[in-house]
Amino acid sequence: MTLQVLVSCVKQNIKTQAEVMNLESDAIIINQCDESDYCEYDHSGHRIRCYSFNERGVGLSRNKALERATADIILFSDEDIRYEKGYAETVIREFEKHPNADMLLFNIDVVKERRTYHIEKEHRVSFKNCGRYPTYSFALRREKLIASGIKFNLNYGGGARYGCGEDSLFIMDCVKNRFKIYALPVTIGREEFRPSTWFNGYNEKYFFDKGALYVPLYGVLAKPLAIRWLLAHRKVFFADRSQDINTWQQAYKIMKKGMKEVK
């Protein structure tokens, strides 16, 4: 069983990226910058293929990496991930332990303030609990993914019209296509802190984009689930009463504008 890491990065030094990330497997690096180029090199016995494109959009980056992947297992990643020693063997071993799994989700440690998920115990992922996992936690059987035709939505995520949500839409598509998905309490790396490329606070843009995401994500349930989400996180979103949006009703009104635009 073979593994490739599919790395999305922006304006990075691709010739040192493998070393910086502690890569111990083959990899495909998509570097969005101001030129178009290709190179490859050997890193500790592993083939690192690097593509530079003069374009932007994380979904576009991930799709281009996927189109070029050849390994049995693919592991999506970002430029700021630092892998633990032995991660490649760990990922392959978990797929061998879960022969019926099409997709496995792993822990990547992040600073507490930025944590959106942490897997405490193994569980099956379904419609009810699939919306909070980042793309860098995703490992999949490549042939299953290619056969499904699933790709990342180019309208969502960093560099796209709506600043987030490409990961949620991707995993929801996998759920709808009846992928067998398991979340594992297995840590394979950590995220190096850096400023977010899309989050600038709980402002109008944030709630508008979330509304735009809820339509393709939840369909007819978009509005009630938006209200549930706002109420569940109101202590976080509206703790600072000095900000422009300080009630869930205001945020919901903005979310509905985002829903309307997408519809």
Euclidean distance between CA atoms 74 and 144, whole angstroms = 11
Tokens matching residue 258: 């985002």
CB 177 within 8 A of CB 102: no
The phi, psi pair for 156, rounded to 5°, reads -125, 150
Euclidean distance between CA atoms 49 and 67, whole angstroms = 13
Out of 3.30.300.10, 3.40.50.1820, 3.90.1150.10, 3.90.550.10, the CATH code matching 3-191 is 3.90.550.10
CATH 3.90.550.10 positions along the chain are 3-191
- The predicted-structure confidence for 93-104, as pLDDT tens digits, reads as follows 999 999 999 999
pTM of the model: 0.90
pLDDT value of position 195: 65
CA pseudo-torsion sign 40, 23, 35, 73: positive
pLDDT at 113 over 60: no
Could you tell me the pLDDT band of residue 41, with boundaries at 50, 70 and 90? very high
- The predicted-structure confidence for 167-178, as pLDDT tens digits, reads as follows 999 999 999 999
pLDDT value of position 87: 97
Euclidean distance between CA atoms 106 and 181, whole angstroms = 11
Euclidean distance between CA atoms 46 and 209, whole angstroms = 39
Tokens matching residue 216: 């393709």
